[in-house]
Structure 1
């Protein structure tokens, strides 16, 4: 049976944290909040605990996990050949929604890295997460606390829906602040490369590093970081993402919704506030993500809205994207992966 314990998000009870840390040291699994999404924690240096984590999530061993640390002193213990850029980014953005991919030290189990020679590291910016890592005394492997491939959890209830009976404890500190996972940056390449867009925008990285590449999703081979599979974060319903902007996008949203309704689909829609007048008269289920100008709010609402809409039972979810500036890049990435790459451009839709 999975126990759920409430904790203060800013000042967690030391006794609760100590108990959760003991579970981790003994090879157990604890779900806990970060500033991005809830993570499913295991001792990142214990292959047996890692194997249990992969089993609980149904996660394939070919998908690496991120090791979460609590201070910069842990960086050289887990990574080698650390370039100056890594120290610069760590000092600037940690704790925060940034994951660095670096050559790994031998102490890191192969299961944590999917057999790759690199390790993904981050320092989360949540008091509960930091207290738990510090109390455990080990780096904590923590992919999102949900069944593999499903929509990520931003509340303890989401975790319970996916993992009840599969893990030992859930620390409930309320909803997460950012709502999408960390930005993963590979510093082993000639040009720093974003493997997974996330809570730290590309623009913030480029202000420090200069040009930053974005990984080409069409490249074949094993995923070099978590969350990079063609289909991920997915609801149960089919999903289609429409890319475009302004009035043209809203026109196509309406046309597509009507088309799918005529084909007999029960239709759900993930839209912006500005889109509502264009579809308000249609017999569809709607989840409003927020305003086009509030990407932080859209990111925070994305996964809860996707889960809520999916629970209403549509056959197909039609989602609009929010561009590529700021958090828009991460939002688009999550939507496209949730749709398994099923994308239409507004100018191409019927």
Structure 2
């Protein structure tokens, strides 16, 4: 199969939408990361997504809609709180897990009776959904377990020959996947996967926002993943990732003691003036770290890194999303110094 690279003009978006309507898979830009777009109601098409990614079948997919009002077509019930959250955050990088109906096949939901619903704000993704008239399942457009793609070039590297087309819509705005929440009660939500819609932002609408234990810890044996990104080692380059919590001086000392061939460090922008070893920087604040993280992890592989020591980000605001992706990339290996 030859994977076609499409632009973001109307003619090419019509081609992308037609491919999806016909059961093919298309790499599509979103404001979070690039996704592998498929008709979420088409079991054969969804199966192609799992095959292209090498994704475990119990890892649920998020369904993307043009407007939250369409959620009634694919869910069995919608709490009032979901409408309040949609009014505040949709379109945007928020996914709400809701009870699904039979229009969403079990393969799309990872065998669960719920489905993640999101309304993307990226104009290209939004337009493709409108033209196709289909609910679009779109997990990150990378080989399963590898860092998510934030450019069309990343998608072509991972998916060339495996999918019908990739739409080049430029670099992703946020750089990490959407925040995923479950509604616990009429005024409470649980964050299952952190993203750029933060706990603090959700508290503007909800009286209680719970951080799920699995955000910073492994799922217990036999526990089902209610959201993508909860169960398996994710976001990991070929290099071994080790996250280190501690002051800069101690970090420099630790890296110096372990500075073998192929060792790199991923550090904050402000660290670079005094850091004496091989490194890449990944931002001056949490938002910039989110935007650059996956790009840097891929660049470290390109540089031939074998082991990467990462300065741990903050765990508040968007920093929690960055920490969550890194701790999974590290296989939960964190050194505190």
Aligned to 1:10: none
Query: 2: CA distance between counterparts of 1:193 and 1:278?
Result: 40
Can you list the C-alpha shifts for 1:186-230, whole angstroms capped at 9, x where unaligned?
Answer: 115684110000121111001210221111124421211111124
> Which one of the candidate residues 320, 325, 328 is aligned to 2:311?
320
Matched, 1:67 2:63: yes
Query: 2: CA distance between counterparts of 1:88 and 1:189?
Result: 13
Q: RMSD value over aligned CA atoms?
A: 1.3
Query: 2: CA distance between counterparts of 1:200 and 1:188?
Result: 18
Matched, 1:116 2:112: yes
**Alpha-carbon offset, residue 173 of structure 1:** 1.2
**Alpha-carbon offset, residue 243 of structure 1:** 2.1
Matched, 1:3 2:1: no
Aligned partners of 1:102 and 1:188 also within 8 Å? no
Which has the higher mean CA deviation after the structures are superposed, 307-316 or 126-135? 307-316
TM-score after normalising by structure 2: 0.95
Query: 1: CA distance between counterparts of 2:307 and 2:157?
Result: 21
Aligned partners of 2:24 and 2:45 also within 8 Å? yes
Can you list the C-alpha shifts for 1:95-145, whole angstroms capped at 9, x where unaligned?
Answer: 100000011112110001111111001001100000000111010000000
Secondary structure of residue in 1 paired with 2:97: strand
What stretches of structure 2 of length at least 5 have no aligned partner? none
Query: 2: CA distance between counterparts of 1:60 and 1:230?
Result: 9
**Alpha-carbon offset, residue 328 of structure 1:** 0.4
Aligned to 1:153: 149
Which has the higher mean CA deviation after the structures are superposed, 270-279 or 56-65? 270-279
Matched, 1:308 2:299: yes
**Alpha-carbon offset, residue 265 of structure 1:** 4.5
Query: 2: CA distance between counterparts of 1:219 and 1:236?
Result: 23
Aligned partners of 1:54 and 1:61 also within 8 Å? yes
Aligned to 2:283: 290
Query: 1: CA distance between counterparts of 2:135 and 2:21?
Result: 11
Aligned to 1:259: 257
Which has the higher mean CA deviation after the structures are superposed, 186-195 or 120-129? 186-195
> Which one of the candidate residues 196, 199, 205 is aligned to 1:199?
196
Aligned partners of 1:230 and 1:341 also within 8 Å? no
Aligned to 2:237: 235
Aligned to 2:133: 137
Give the direction of change, closer, same or farther, for the CA distance of 1:219–1:307 in structure 2 (3 Å limit): closer
Query: 2: CA distance between counterparts of 1:193 and 1:138?
Result: 28
Aligned partners of 1:145 and 1:159 also within 8 Å? yes
Secondary structure of residue in 1 paired with 2:128: helix
Give the direction of change, closer, same or farther, for the CA distance of 1:104–1:86 in structure 2 (3 Å limit): same
Aligned partners of 1:229 and 1:337 also within 8 Å? no
Aligned to 1:343: 334
Query: 1: CA distance between counterparts of 2:158 and 2:3?
Result: 11
Secondary structure of residue in 2 paired with 1:4: strand
**Alpha-carbon offset, residue 14 of structure 1:** 2.1
Aligned partners of 2:219 and 2:231 also within 8 Å? no
Give the direction of change, closer, same or farther, for the CA distance of 1:115–1:188 in structure 2 (3 Å limit): farther
> Which one of the candidate residues 10, 19, 30 is aligned to 1:14?
10
Aligned to 2:228: 226
Matched, 1:184 2:180: yes
Aligned partners of 1:242 and 1:319 also within 8 Å? yes
TM-score after normalising by structure 1: 0.91
Can you list the C-alpha shifts for 1:7-48, whole angstroms capped at 9, x where unaligned?
Answer: 2xxxxx222111111100111000110000000000000000
